[in-house]
Chains A and B, each alone.
Chain A
């Protein structure tokens, strides 16, 4: 069936089966492979995207449910070719990853946090990423990255939408 997906500000008409997950539609129909399948049962969080700004597991949502929702993927928070957002740069600065598989989802979860809470405590950060499993890092450098990004965003005195 035909569904209109609003992804990263552009509207895409795609033909999907009713059972097609949003994750599969993003990856297979739109070629947005930054969202990853990890468990496909809503635990690991590797498929996280933003739906109207909230971090959502795209493996638990059908593509047809996403009609009319503003979806943001990792590709949508990257400022431009060769450029990094403040959050993305902070993840590089602290090496908040290893294999990179959970990373786009982590960054989107962090993006959702910083949009609502520009000055999170470490506890807030730990809470915000607790639905995203990272098997490589033990989370320390991820928490550091988000804290660093929050500090930098506050420093530039602009809302995270503009740069994070």
Chain B
């Protein structure tokens, strides 16, 4: 489908990011900055127990306070609204903004208080008296599977939301015929993206116009639809303003329960209402934790280390309610073998409820834990054979000449050159010298390791995991759109139809439209109409905007070009095939002096109907709604589906040193090879890669939403939940490679997730290499300093190695 030229004027050039100008002067327009007249504020009363029956709610003292307007409980809200949308077909796991009769995790919202100020609302929240009867609870995913486990939702009959086994290819035969088998259990701990801006939403109901205006820090597909449905409003009565800057999201800014809550309150009370989570509300009750996943992986391989088959059981603890998060077990199906030639796979995906905070979509949508599991097992295959870890990977990697490459679960990888990317990284880093440095560190008494990881980043998502995991769901499109209008003065305005959280989408649209129209991108104004003026969008999830919004902008611009050419051809009396577009004008290829310039064309389109070709609409406005490349089919009965059109590749290489006395890991060198096809904006791709790696370092070493045995979240502030600072993130060297995708207009692929996909696996690899001389390994993330220090001390004691002075 690619028609675009492969040499570019603006695409791939190191241009500035247009959004940056407003941010550096503090003029971003974040949800908390939007001053709606008459705004009142919400604070929440939350359940202190992991499971409890709500016996009584006494609102009297709170309501008696001056400036307090309302105290809302779950029963009232439930009577007026529908349950929030769930991804799976789980009607007996209803999820609502405020708990109804039973609260199912510590921190769950029970009551909302509305007052003149947030501080006053918090004061009043302290005076709401709620009596509880404590109930049995379950925290651990394996415990939740047991027959005698307390049920998080009694009506559902079990804690299992999803238990589906897929078999792709001859797994039994491949295991039987393989001389070697290996099993490994690895665990990905519960963490999240934790943006610096918490979730914020303001809503204002106009009962005369019957319109709910919403300003929110969102990154969520179908957000207006879901809000309207839960509030029992036509979606044409919900106007979501997309021209709100979102202060980081990386997946989690879904906020549907927040929005339904304030939507109801503004309708009920007749004035605008805002909820901005404080950090505790965000971390405990914001329903934004990430996957917590236990993997049991078996592989069958031969004596040379070539893996023939894999069985993977993934058990995910999704917390107390089912939102969209169980689908995070579905996305990995689209790259279930990573970049490797594993010819058959059995995949069992289990999602269970527990009395923990609800899970939400997190960067890479479940692929990062799975990539960690795959990378761990391939290193164990190498170790079991005494084979170099790099060589084991090379033998299993899909080769350049094998693309397009069909994996067992039904996705065809578009393009790639994995061996070359790795070779470029090794050459850049001087791999031999890096290994020598590791050995020098070891000789000096340090623990030191080389970390290696590959990862695939599926991009341009079409949400096929929905029909894959929910048979009632028939989604086969996940479109995005762009409209371009040229006004009568010749100015150009392009639209996008979603909010952004720092991904530079305005720059993307401007660059692509400028490239296609051969005009300076600075001439292209990019705006975000509200949801009632918008074309369809599915929001910037799944590394999809370079492919989908970039694609839509390209196709819209092509339509505009075609219209301009048709106008000129008619007006100049030149056959269409001789009318040639260049830089905003159209000329006769055989007589270039016969030419219509930009303003000539604009004037004809806007004012001279008599000069337009017959049947042409006047004006200069075009739009394109783009279907996902390669998408459009439902999964087969055995669960095969093309889940993403494009697959980026990364290779991470780390040198890690660990002080054996402290157990403190230190990244001495970090090199990443990156191939996301044609780069549209190098600054943006660079930043996404670096930021993803920093995020991965956090997930691998520092960040965890740990719970105690009583079901209390232990990480409730940034003193306990440790985000990497500038000290924890080392300089990262990026080695670029470009393998264009055949499915996209410029050859671009997605790039928002790959740093986060590879870094945790690479850090785990480095630490395990460092621990190898001690005869131990670690198969859980995060690998915190305390854990590492204890493991090292125990191992050294066991082997009789002298310890440092206590």
Contact A95 B196 (CB under 8 A): no
With contacts A36-B247, A38-B196 taken as known, whether A136 is within 8 angstroms of B278 at the C-beta atoms is no
B196 nearest CB neighbor, chain A only: A38
Complex Cα distance, B719 from A126, in Å, reads 20
Q: Which residues of B contact A127 (CB under 8 A)?
A: 726-727
Measured in the bound complex, the distance between the Cα atoms of B25 and A92 in whole Å is 11
Quick check: A126 and B727 within 8 Å, CB to CB?
yes
Nearest-CB distance from A42 to chain B (Å)? 9
Contacts of A135 in B (CB 8 A): 193-196, 248, 250, 691, 694-695, 723
A133/B196 in contact, CB under 8 A: yes
Which stretch (B5-13, B229-237, B679-687) binds chain A?
A: B679-687
Contact of B24 among A35, A37, A46, A88 (CB under 8 A): A88
1/0 per residue A107-136: CB within 8 Å of B? 100000000000000000011011111111
A151 on interface, CB distance cutoff 8 Å: no
Asked whether any CB of chain B lies closer than 8 Å to the CB of A161, the reply is no
The answer on a CB contact under 8 Å between A33 and B278 is no
Of A17, A32, A136, A139, the most chain B CB neighbours within 10 A belong to A136
Partner pick for B26 among A75, A99, A132, CB 8 A cutoff = A75
B83 at the interface (CB under 8 A from A): no
The contact of A44 among B196, B245, B246, B686, by CB within 8 Å, is B196
Closest CB in chain B relative to A108 CB, distance in Å = 9
Partner of B502, one of A20, A97, A130, A142: A97
**Main SS of the interface on chain B?**
loop
What A residues does B246 contact at CB under 8 A? 99
In the assembled complex, how far is the CB of residue A120 from the closest CB belonging to chain B, in whole angstroms?
13
Interface pair A101/B16, CB less than 8 Å apart: no
CB closest chain-B residue, reference A107: B24
B793 at interface, CB cutoff 8 A: no
Inter-chain contact B197/A84, CB cutoff 8 Å: no
A65 located at the interface, meaning its Cβ lies under 8 Å from any Cβ of chain B in the complex: no
Cβ-defined contact, B17 with A100, below 8 A: no
Q: Take A36-B247, A95-B16, A135-B723 as given contacts and tell me if A101 and B504 are in contact as well, using a CB distance cutoff of 8 Å.
A: no
The size class of the interface chain B forms with chain A is 35 or more
Q: Are A140's CB and B690's CB within 8 A?
A: yes
What chain B residues lie within 8 Å of A40 (beta carbons)?
278-279
Tell me if B503 is interfacial: C-beta within 8 Å of chain A. Answer: yes
B225 on the interface (CB 8 Å rule)? Answer: no
The complex places the Cα of A40 from the Cα of B755 at a distance, in Å, of: 29
Decide if B717 is an interface residue (CB 8 Å cutoff).
Answer: yes
Q: Is A141 an interface residue (CB 8 A)?
A: yes
Measured in the bound complex, the distance between the Cα atoms of B194 and A32 in whole Å is 25
Please tell me if A6 contacts chain B, counting CB pairs below 8 Å.
no
Q: Is residue B160 contacting chain A, with contact meaning CB distance below 8 A?
A: no
With known contacts A36-B197, A139-B729, A41–B694 Cβ distance under 8 A:
no
Report the minimal beta-carbon distance from B182 to chain A, rounded to whole angstroms.
34
Within 8 A of A (CB), among B2-51: 16-17, 19-28, 30, 32-33, 35
Q: Which residues of A contact B195 (CB under 8 A)?
A: 99, 101, 135
Distance to closest chain A CB from B327 (angstroms): 23
Chain B positions within 8 Å of A78 at CB level: 25-26
B693 at the interface (CB under 8 A from A): yes
The residue on B at minimum CB distance from A20 is B119
- The reply to whether B28 and A43 form a contact with Cβ atoms under 8 Å apart is no
**A36-B247, A140-B731 given; A98·B26 CB < 8 A:** no
Question: How far in angstroms is the closest Cβ of chain A from B149?
Answer: 35
- Give every chain B residue within 8 A of A39 (Cβ-Cβ): 196, 279, 717-718
Give complex CA distance A79, B355 in Å: 53
- Contact A33 to B26, CB < 8 A, known contacts A99-B247, A139-B694, A143-B726: yes
B119 contacts A17, CB within 8 Å? yes
Q: State how many angstroms separate the Cβ of B685 from the closest Cβ of chain A.
A: 10
In the assembled complex, the Cα of A84 lies from the Cα of B278 at a distance in Å of 32
Residue of A nearest to B717 (CB): A41
How close is A7's CB to chain B, nearest CB, in angstroms? 13
Contact (Cβ within 8 A) B687 A133: no
CB-based contact B17/A38 at 8 Å: no
- A163→B684 CA distance, assembly (Å): 27
For the complex, give the distance between the alpha carbons of A152 and B607 in Å.
50
Q: Which of A35, A75, A95, A143 has the most CB of B within 10 A?
A: A95
A37-B32, A126-B726 known; A43-B502 Cβ under 8 A: no
**CB < 8 Å A-B pair total:** 181
Q: How far, in whole Å, are A141 and B502 apart by their CA atoms in the complex?
A: 14
How many Å lie between the Cα of A100 and that of B20 in the bound state? 7
Residues of chain A from 55 to 111 with CB closer than 8 A to chain B in the complex = 73-75, 78, 84, 88-89, 91-95, 97-104, 107
Look across to chain A and name the residue whose beta carbon is closest to the beta carbon of B18. Answer: A92
In angstroms, how far is the closest chain B Cβ from the Cβ of A145? 9
- Tell me if B333 is interfacial: C-beta within 8 Å of chain A: no
Number of A interface residues at 8 Å Cβ cutoff, please give it: 56
Contact between chains at B20 and A91 (CB < 8 Å): yes
Which residue of A35, A104, A130 is within 8 Å of B727 (Cβ)?
A130
Tell me if A34 is interfacial: C-beta within 8 Å of chain B.
Answer: yes
| A134 proximity list for chain B (CB < 8 A) | 196
| Chain B 253-290 per-residue mask, 1 if CB under 8 angstroms from chain A, else 0 | 00000000000000000000000101100000000000
CB of B113 closer than 8 Å to a CB of A: no
From known contacts A103-B24, A130-B727, infer whether A95 and B17 are also in contact, taking CB-CB under 8 Å. yes
Q: Are A84 and B196 in contact (CB under 8 A)?
A: no
Once the chains bind, are A43 and B719 in contact (CB under 8 Å)? yes
A138 at the interface (CB under 8 A from B): yes
The answer to whether B16 and A93 touch across the interface, beta carbons within 8 angstroms, is: yes
Interface string of B214-255 (1 = CB under 8 A from A): 000000000000000000000000000000011111100000
B82 interface residue per 8 A CB criterion: no
Q: What's the nearest-Cβ distance from chain B to residue A72, in Å?
A: 12
Q: A73 CA to B27 CA in the complex, in Å?
A: 12
Q: Indicate if the CB atoms of A103 and B30 lie closer than 8 Å.
A: no
Expressed in whole angstroms, the minimum distance between the Cβ of A5 and any Cβ of chain B is 17
Asked whether, in the complex, the Cβ of A104 is within 8 Å of the Cβ of B26, the reply is: yes
Shortest distance from the beta carbon of A141 to any chain B beta carbon, whole Å: 6
Q: Is the CB of B25 within 8 A of A99?
A: no
Are A100 and B119 in touch, CB under 8 angstroms?
Answer: no
Contacts of B35 in A (CB 8 A): 31
**How many Å lie between the Cα of A102 and that of B246 in the bound state?**
12
Min Cβ gap A4→B in Å is 22
Question: By the criterion CB–CB under 8 Å, are B245 and A95 in contact?
Answer: no
- CA–CA, A87 to B278, complex, Å? 31
- Centre residue among A74, A93, A98 by max chain B CB count within 10 A: A98
Verify A138–B723 contact, CB threshold 8 A: no
Q: How far is the CA of A42 from the CA of B727 in the complex (A)?
A: 17
Instruction: Identify which of B26, B245, B691, B727 contacts A138 (C-beta below 8 A).
Output: B691
Instruction: Give, as a whole number of angstroms, the nearest-CB distance from B751 to chain A.
Output: 12
Q: Which of B28, B278, B279, B683 lies in contact with A141, CB distance below 8 A?
A: B683
Alpha-carbon distance between A73 and B19 when the two chains are bound, in angstroms: 20
Give complex CA distance A92, B14 in Å.
12
Chain A residues within an 8 Å CB radius of B28: 100-101, 103
B803 part of interface (Cβ distance < 8 Å):
no
Contact present for A133 and B723 (CB under 8 Å):
yes
Complex: chain A residue closest to B276, CB-CB: A37
Known: A101-B30, A135-B194, A138-B695. 20 other contacts (CB 8 A): A27-B32, A31-B35, A36-B30, A36-B196, A36-B197, A37-B32, A44-B718, A74-B26, A95-B684, A101-B196, A101-B197, A102-B196, A130-B727, A133-B196, A136-B502, A137-B694, A138-B755, A139-B726, A140-B686, A141-B686
Closest 9 CB pairs of A and B: A34-B26, A100-B23, A99-B502, A101-B247, A98-B502, A138-B694, A138-B690, A43-B718, A74-B26
Residues of chain A whose beta carbon lies under 8 Å from any beta carbon of chain B? 17, 19-20, 27, 31-41, 43-44, 46, 73-75, 78, 84, 88-89, 91-95, 97-104, 107, 126-127, 129-143
Could you write out 28 A-B pairs with CB less than 8 Å apart? A34-B26, A37-B32, A38-B279, A40-B278, A41-B279, A73-B26, A92-B20, A92-B24, A97-B23, A97-B24, A98-B248, A98-B502, A99-B23, A99-B196, A100-B20, A101-B196, A101-B197, A101-B247, A103-B24, A104-B24, A132-B726, A133-B718, A135-B193, A138-B732, A140-B690, A141-B686, A141-B687, A141-B690
